């Protein structure tokens, strides 16, 4: 996992639970790493820190991932800079997330391993979003989708369906 995601998780915890939180999580997890945004860290390190933090705070994993997704979206949009500043709504972003945005991220960041998304446009207001990742974090995706709608002042209704292979398809409805 890229350091930028872990740094964002640090800021999420400190903003939500107070400035000491991250240091306490690092102590509890006996982690001495320093996280640099562009560097890659073993996914196990992130998951250990995530599990430690939810145990310490008494949170449910899926709820915490969803909140983290909402928090992370505007951070990623800022990080994406010129790559994403011309988009005007969620659907336009999502239609190019897999084919352009994450492709550019991989060019710019050595070893970045974003997930795969297969996006199907049902009509002007509806998408089917198929999320495929060995990290399999559907609640994080749900939070990001909610964060994206909030970013553009939209309302969205999101329903997720687990597929037989364990991946998830989200039905996102932006009509309202
Ligand atoms: C808008 C600008 C965006 C930028 C610059 C960006 C960049 C990144 C980066 C750097 C990673 C980490 C990859 C790694 O650790 O190897 C990542 C992961 C991820 N991105 Fe994006 N992203 C953006 C938008 C989005 C949006 C809109 C979504 C979905 C709704 C999304 C879904 C994800 C997910 C779920 C992951 C976690 C990795 C996984 O599930 O395997 N991203 N992204």
Does the structure show a pLDDT above 90 at 171?
A: yes
Q: How far does residue 107's CA lie from ligand 1's centre (Å)? A: 14
Over residues 15-29, the mean pLDDT reads 98
Give 90's pLDDT tier (boundaries 50, 70, 90). very high
Query: Does any ligand 1 atom lie closer than 6 A to the CB of residue 129?
Result: no
Estimate to the nearest angstrom the gap between the alpha carbon of 126 and the chain centroid: 21
Q: Considering the chain, what percentage of its residues have pLDDT values greater than 90? A: 99
My answer on whether 123 and 52 are in the same domain is: no
What is the atom index within ligand 1 of the atom nearest the CA of 145? Answer: 30
Which one of 76, 104, 107, 140 would you pick to mutate in the ligand 1 pocket, going by the greatest count of ligand atoms within 8 A of its CB? 76
How many structural domains are present in the chain?
2
21 in any annotated domain: yes
* Helix (H), strand (E) counts: the chain: 7, 4
Same-domain check for residues 7 and 26: yes
Please tell me whether residues 41 and 76 are part of one structural domain. no
Note the pLDDT of residue 75: 98
Q: Are 132 and 116 in contact (CB under 8 A)?
A: yes
Q: Is 149 a pocket residue for ligand 1 (Cβ < 6 Å)?
A: no
Kindly state whether residues 53 and 140 are assigned to the same domain: no
- Per-residue exposure over 142-161, b if at least 16 CB sit within 10 Å of its own CB, e if not: bbbbbbbbebbeeebebebe
Q: How many angstroms separate the CA atoms of 60 and 11, rounded?
A: 19
pTM as predicted: 0.96
**How far is CA 153 from each of CA 88, 89, 97, 174, rounded to the nearest angstrom?**
10, 9, 19, 11
**126 neighbors 171 (Cβ within 8 angstroms):** yes
Question: 51 and 78: one domain?
Answer: no
Least Cα distance to 65 among 127, 123, 143, 7 occurs for 143
- Same domain? 30 vs 78: no
DSSP state for residue 2 in the 8-state scheme: B
- What CA–CA distance (Å, rounded) separates 90 from 104? 18
Domain-located, residue 96? yes
What pLDDT sits at residue 69?
Answer: 98
The closest residue, in CA terms, to atom 1 on ligand 1 is 77
In the predicted model, what is the mean pLDDT of residues 53-72? 98
Determine the Cα–Cα distance for residues 79 and 4; give it in Å rounded to an integer. Answer: 9
Indicate the residue among 59, 86, 107 that finishes a domain.
59
Over 90: is that where the pLDDT of 138 sits? yes
Is residue 141, in this structure, part of any structural domain at all?
Answer: yes
Domain with residue 76: its CATH number is 3.90.1520.10
The reply to whether ligand 1 has any atom less than 6 angstroms from the CB of 84 is yes
Predicted pLDDT at 106: 96
Domain contains 38: yes
Closest atom of ligand 1 to CA, residue 112: 16
Which residue range(s) make up the domain with 44?
A: 3-59
- pLDDT given at position 5: 98
Q: Give the model's pLDDT for residue 54.
A: 98
Q: With a 6 A CB cut-off, is 141 part of the ligand 1 pocket?
A: yes
Per DSSP, helices labelled H in 101-164 are 102-108, 138-151
pLDDT averaged over the chain? 97
Closest CA to 7 of 31, 53, 39, 42: 39
Do 159 and 97 sit in the same domain of this protein?
yes
In a domain, residue 166? The reply is yes
In a domain, 64, yes or no: no
Pocket flag, ligand 1, residue 144 (CB < 6 Å): yes
Binding site membership of 75 for ligand 1 (Cβ less than 6 Å): no
Residues 132, 84: one domain? yes
- Whether 92 shows a pLDDT value over 80: the answer reads yes
Quickly state the pLDDT bin for 176 (edges 50, 70, 90).
confident
Q: Is 1 in the pocket of ligand 1 (CB under 6 A)?
A: yes
- Summarised one tens digit per residue, pLDDT across range 139-158 is 999 999 999 999 999 999 99
> Would residue 126 count as lying in a domain?
yes
- Judged against a pLDDT cut of 90, whether residue 18 lies above it is answered with yes
């Amino acid at each position: 996992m890229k350091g930028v995601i872990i740094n964002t998780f640090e800021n999420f915890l400190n903003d939500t639970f107070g400035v000491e939180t991250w240091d306490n999580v690092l102590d509890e997890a006996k982690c001495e790493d320093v996280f640099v945004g562009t560097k890659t860290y073993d996914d196990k390190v992130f998951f250990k820190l995530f599990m430690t933090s939810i145990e310490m705070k008494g949170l449910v994993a899926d709820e915490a991932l969803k909140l983290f997704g909402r928090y992370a979206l505007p951070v990623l949009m800022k990080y994406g800079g010129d790559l994403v500043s011309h988009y005007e709504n969620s659907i336009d972003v999502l239609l190019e997330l897999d084919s352009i945005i994450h492709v550019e991220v991989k060019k710019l960041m050595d070893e970045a391993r974003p997930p795969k998304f297969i996006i199907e446009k049902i009509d002007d207001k509806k998408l089917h979003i198929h999320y495929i990742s060995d990290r399999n974090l559907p609640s994080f995706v749900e939070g990001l989708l909610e964060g994206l709608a909030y970013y553009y002042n939209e309302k969205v209704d999101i329903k997720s369906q687990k597929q037989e292979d364990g991946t998830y398809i989200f039905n996102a409805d932006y009509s309202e």
